[in-house]
Amino acid sequence: MDSKSPGLREWKAHWPLVLTAFLGMSYPPIAYYSMGLFIEPLSRDFGWNRTEIAIGASISAIISVPLMPLVGVLVDRWGVRFLALPGTIMTGACIASFAIANGNLTQWAMLWVIFALCQAFLKTTIWTAAVMSRFVASRSLAVAVTLCGVSFANIVAPPLVRWLIESFGWRTSYVVMGIGWGLPVFVLCALFLYDGHDDKRRGGQGEAGGPQIYAYGLSIRQALRSGPIIRVGAATLITLLLTACLVVHQVPLLIEAGLSRTSAAYLASLSGFGAIAGSLVSGWLMDRFHAGTVGAITNAMAAAALLLLLEPFRTPALIVTAMLVIGYASGTKLQLCGYLTSIYGGMKNYGKIFGVMASIIAISSALGPMLGGVIYDTTGSYSLFILASIPASLFSAMLLVGLGKYPDWSAVQDEPVTDRTAAVAKQA
């Protein structure tokens, strides 16, 4: 981007917003990514087994499914700031409150239920909607950086929490996580988290279109009949179902492939760095080429990488290559869904439409790990999962090919008021 490019101007004006969204995106996931480190001390203190400890996270994922569309409605109505500021405070208090666990499983489950309700205010819809309201020319890259917050949490939270538990105990660790990570996020939100709704309330235009960016787009009913939106949703369901399964089962899958536990753990971490690379590189590519094509190629690459994990092909070098490619591909999923939803659905009802997409993501996150477990328990191997994932990845790639030209929402804006409803329907 040269110094006069619209994309560079957007970054100069709004990089603090992207930083805020990046850290906000990293905040709720720390409770999930650090859970494995709390298993041993909770089991020791309360005598819980792993299923009992993990049940709270499963409940939280299930509760998130119906909440996402509701959050989207609130975003479209009031804007992101209305949700993020109280959401940050409540989520921090919930994470800290895990420190009061007393060995009662009902209490433990209720703490996770309350956490699920509060962290819904900080879901992907919030941060991507804020960034998309300010970025047009460099929207995909800005969303990519935002979504890297999840990978950042995956990389930083485990070693940080391990040190906290060893130094101060598990109760103090929960308090430090809730307040220490949440306070900077709250301060940044208070200073920089504004979107087009705030421009509208202040009577301004905003650098990226301000209030007008929310004037045009599909209704929920039109989106449910939109071919591109349906295909993006189906591709998202398939790819994230497979990704959620791989994230949970990648270490035992690699051990089955002949690696030691230590090597498998390092490779799992390596895939996290690959996810960051995938998010950033694909974000840059989608600002320059059709996002559907970029996504299709990425999904096809994942299918090829899965093939390398099968018995006739796998060698140590090919396994490393496969995990890097799989990590790269996993880093593109969320931003591909969010970006294509904003492109083909417009921003008028982005929160509602992406709220439905977020429910699909939550369903995938809940069912994916279970799918891998059922396949392994039934067959005694992950080979069937890999064999099924290859054609599934290719099918998701086919869904993203030929989505059609991007809708021109400025053409809708130019239509006479009486013709705008028909023009919007034509864009669908």
Q: What is the pLDDT of residue 34?
A: 79
Instruction: Read off the pLDDT band of 16 (50, 70, 90).
Output: very high
Residue 10 near residue 207, CB atoms below 8 Å: yes
Residues 52 and 47: their CA atoms lie apart, in Å, by 10
The Cβ of residue 356 has, within 10 Å, a number of other Cβ atoms equal to 17
* Whether domain 1-212 has CATH 3.20.20.140: no
Q: What would the pLDDT profile of 158-175 be if each residue is shown by its tens digit?
A: 788 888 988 999 999 999
What's the residue count for the chain?
428
Residue whose token pair is 């650098």: 207
Instruction: Read off the pLDDT band of 393 (50, 70, 90).
Output: very high
Instruction: Read off the pLDDT band of 417 (50, 70, 90).
Output: very low
Residue 68 near residue 123, CB atoms below 8 Å: yes
Is 357 a residue whose pLDDT tops 70? yes
107-116, 191-200, 265-274, 282-291: which is most confident: 107-116
Mean pLDDT of 346-371: 79
Three-class SS state of 102? coil
Q: What is the pLDDT of residue 416?
A: 45
Residue 341: exposure state from Cβ atoms within 10 A (0-12, 13-18, ≥19)? buried
Question: Which tokens go with 204?
Answer: 């301004």
Residue 126 near residue 72, CB atoms below 8 Å: no
Mean pLDDT of 210-231: 79
Instruction: Read off the pLDDT band of 255 (50, 70, 90).
Output: confident
Q: What is the pLDDT of residue 240?
A: 85
Looking at the domain that runs over 215-428, which CATH code has it been given?
Answer: 1.20.1250.20
Residue whose token pair is 């030691």: 260
Question: Which tokens go with 7?
Answer: 């994309």
Q: Picking from 2-6, 113-117, 267-271, which range would have the lowest pLDDT averaged per residue?
A: 2-6
The domain segmentation of the chain, as residue ranges, is 1-212, 215-428
Instruction: Read off the pLDDT band of 26 (50, 70, 90).
Output: very high
Residue 11 near residue 5, CB atoms below 8 Å: no
Q: What is the pLDDT of residue 414?
A: 45
Sorted by sequence, the CB contacts under 8 Å of residue 3 that are 6+ apart come out as none
Do the first three CATH levels of 1-212 and 215-428 match, i.e. the same topology? yes
Instruction: Read off the pLDDT band of 38 (50, 70, 90).
Output: confident
Three-class SS state of 112? helix
Q: What is the pLDDT of residue 321?
A: 84
**How high does pLDDT run on average in the chain?**
82
Q: What would the pLDDT profile of 126-141 be if each residue is shown by its tens digit?
A: 898 889 888 888 888 8
